[in-house]
């Protein structure tokens, strides 16, 4: 879901660029309005944030049951909390501070890239409790 929000932000930026440069690209004819793209992006982002929150709560409860008191030391949990805080900041900026358009789209894309890169880095370079459980230590 978060990836869809990021894709929506990329579409927003491409339409915004074509409008600002006064060059209408061929893809512009197939895109919804810039306001619609912004609305779709924030709705996807908010829904993804809710699902991420529920997943983190459920995962934390399960991790505490499985690993006991050291569950929160896992790099994947720490990274997830940091990304969650960034996403909460993005939603705060959009809903309460009134960020719209380019600034919000750029920060949304940054957040999605941070989420994906963190997952890839943690999966390949570090040994997490998730991998310990999967591969038997």
Residue recorded with tokens 């960020």: 99
- Across the range 6-31, mean pLDDT stands at 78
Q: Whole-angstrom Cα distance, residue 1 to residue 54?
A: 13
The 10s digit of each residue's pLDDT in 83-135 is 899 889 888 888 888 788 888 888 889 888 988 888 788 777 766 555 555 54
Give this prediction's pTM.
0.77
The token duo for 64 is: 């505490």
pLDDT the model gives residue 51: 94
The token duo for 89 is: 């900041």
- Across the range 42-64, mean pLDDT stands at 89
Please, what is the average pLDDT of the chain?
Answer: 81
Rg, the chain, Cα only: 18
- Beta carbons of 100 and 49 less than 8 angstroms apart: no
- Beta carbons of 52 and 2 less than 8 angstroms apart: yes
């Amino acid at each position: 879901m978060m990836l869809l929000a990021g894709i929506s932000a990329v579409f927003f930026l491409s339409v915004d660029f074509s409008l600002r440069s006064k060059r209408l690209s061929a893809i512009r004819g197939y895109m919804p309005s810039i306001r619609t793209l912004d609305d779709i992006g924030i709705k996807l982002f908010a829904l993804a944030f809710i699902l991420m929150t529920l997943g983190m709560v459920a995962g934390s409860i399960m991790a505490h049951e499985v690993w006991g008191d050291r569950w929160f030391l896992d790099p994947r949990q720490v990274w997830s909390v940091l990304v969650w805080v960034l996403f909460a900041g993005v939603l705060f900026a959009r809903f309460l501070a009134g960020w719209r358009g380019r600034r919000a789209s750029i920060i949304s894309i940054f957040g999605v890239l941070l989420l994906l890169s963190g997952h890839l880095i943690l999966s390949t370079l570090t040994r997490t409790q998730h991998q310990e459980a999967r591969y038997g230590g």
